[in-house]
Structure 1
């Protein structure tokens, strides 16, 4: 069971954050590795963390930044649920370092 929603709700309430100022950054298997997509009000697409947040906030109308992690290759035989919990490869970690500073530097 994913409890991301509990944490988001507690922080939102404790600091008195308006829903319009909530921004959730999460992984997304429907985007290619490293791609980014921003949106408000979309469904959870099966993402358990996002589902938990929607349940806790009682709405899907919050800002989300989806970061692509891609899908497991067909020949890997790895279920998506297991894939998203795997560690990144050394090549992926190097790529994350390259795109991470530019992305997070522009976030605030």
Structure 2
């Protein structure tokens, strides 16, 4: 079984923000594949167990807020006796433009507090990461305010198409391996392109 973990903040005020793109992508997968969510208090997470492309998965959204995401992740991983390499994390990435994504494994936190928390509580960086680009703010807007702001209307129009592409990468990861997912996702400079919209 794989643990697919989306990073974000709980609460309706954060739902459509850039920082919650990991939550939003898991909601997309759950909706597409008929996986229902429930709140699991012992893990402080929303979870959905099911099957994606013939593979057993547990979808999870920590409800501990971004900076403490590792608490929920470690509790779930320990319960199912999953090695960190069985964890796939989806999170926002300021250093990639919107529409870009990179799959990585074994990287440092790169200033992302949610990833830092995962490394601290799992005692490892050996998990797979889908780094979903949200771009950097223009002008004087601080990065913290930017990621906690909602996606722009033009971005929201593109999100579902981007998620369809990312799901292809997840399918390759589950049915084949991490390298296959990297070969697809990392070869794309940005998708969907502006021309394709």
TM-score by length of 2: 0.51
1:101 pairs, out of 153, 164, 178, with: 164
Question: Residues 10-47 of structure 1: CA distance to partner in whole angstroms, max 9, x if unpaired?
Answer: 11112222222111111100001021111111111110
Two-structure CA RMSD over aligned residues (Å): 1.4
Moved over 3 A (4+): none
State the SS of the aligned residue for 1:66: strand
Aligned length: 106
Distance in 1, Cα, partners of 2:136 & 2:163: 20
- Does the CA-based 8 Å contact 2:84-2:124 persist in structure 1? no
| Gapped regions of structure 1 (runs ≥ 5) | none
| Gapped regions of structure 2 (runs ≥ 5) | 1-65, 172-197
1:67 pairs, out of 107, 128, 132, with: 132
TM-score by length of 1: 0.90
Specify which structure has the bigger relative contact order, considering alpha-carbon pairs within 8 angstroms and separated by 6 or more residues. Answer: 1
Matched, 1:38 2:103: yes
